[in-house]
Structure 1
């Protein structure tokens, strides 16, 4: 009796020997067939899993994907309006034609499959005392309508679940996809996204942000005092 052949998809694509057996098929069911040499039961499942593997985003994809989502935001006409509004949950958002600096970040992450409204709300519900809501706004409990739209709360979330990076005067320290926060005149917090596009004037990485005139790509990294530097790679890019 001839020895059953290994699945050709797994073999030719340099995938592990258990690539097909993880689908619930033992090796006895994978016999060589005319054509591609695939067991008829193995073929469809192997192709489906292979496509899943190839389509799953990696950590290396994050910066490119997040930057592209941020740059896409600059195509939208948005009126600056930070009014409190009751919104849906999950996936809630204020009307598309209004927003503030945090909405640029929220909408960019949502475009790559990450809902900061849910993540921030769940984290605040679990560890409310760590967040500055009570100290700054006098709130006694989480509010899923607004918490994720406040810069200090996002800073806390990124520090807890991402990387808090060094604040540097060197432009090269700021990678595409990183998040930067600033203090504006009047002690106002601000947030933006670093891109790979460089200013022809200063050589600094350009920032996507909304400081009042809608989402813009501007050379403003060192225009104001930097208060935070973060990188948050969502879980689906870490798997």
Structure 2
């Protein structure tokens, strides 16, 4: 017979581990993004055929979205390539038609900022866009428009300027860098990653759930 005290102790350990993983996720995202600095040294938007799932380019090249894809994959085991592709298969009409496609393309869909914005919103990650530095926490994802019309995405760092403005980790043309550019361009989206246990869809299949705060 299992003693109640033993069960209670096991439950406490499980809750502690789960809570620790939740709380460490933002720090892990930032560490994984910062770990790309000096390794991803080029910006290359060329279309490439990727493995699936967990496909990637050579580490030394990439675009802004690759910083996010690699950081979430390394820190949380979250494969945006698979998640975006599966969601687009379920709800293709909900995604932008900016590229004239009539079906998902698992090589490139997850590497396009407008698609990531749609996926983040559909996943419940969206937060209000503000000009207040204190609203942006380490590990948050921020999208903006670089003039004249280039969509861009950045990861909020745990480091700040002297006056408290968070730095961002991104690739805006010269490889992955950590810079003071959070409010340089018009912000179009603010998102926070928080994983939770999966739910089942109508067909009984397990689906990941990523609600907001």
Please tell me the TM-score bracket, short chain as reference.
Answer: 0.7 to 0.9
Unpaired runs of at least 5, structure 2 = 199-208
Q: Which residue of 1 aligns with 2:167?
A: 206
Query: Any conservation in 1 of the 2:40–2:62 contact (CA below 8 Å)?
Result: no
1:175 to 137, 148, 151: 137
Deviations 1:146-203 (A, max 9, x none): 0000000000001111321111111000011110001001210000001121112x42
Q: CA RMSD in A?
A: 2.4
TM-score (norm 1): 0.76
User: Within 2, Cα distance between the matches of 1:5 and 1:77?
Assistant: 52
Question: Would you say 1:150 and 2:112 are equivalent positions?
Answer: yes
1:7 is displaced (CA, Å) by: 7.4
User: Within 1, Cα distance between the matches of 2:166 and 2:84?
Assistant: 28
- Aligned partner of residue 137 in structure 1, secondary structure: coil
2:56 to 81, 93, 97: 93
- Aligned partner of residue 206 in structure 1, secondary structure: strand
1:236 is displaced (CA, Å) by: 6.2
User: Within 2, Cα distance between the matches of 1:197 and 1:180?
Assistant: 16
**Greater strand share, 1 or 2?**
2
User: Within 1, Cα distance between the matches of 2:41 and 2:2?
Assistant: 60
Unpaired runs of at least 5, structure 1 = 20-49
1:68 is displaced (CA, Å) by: 1.4
TM-score (norm 2): 0.84
Aligned residue pairs total 198
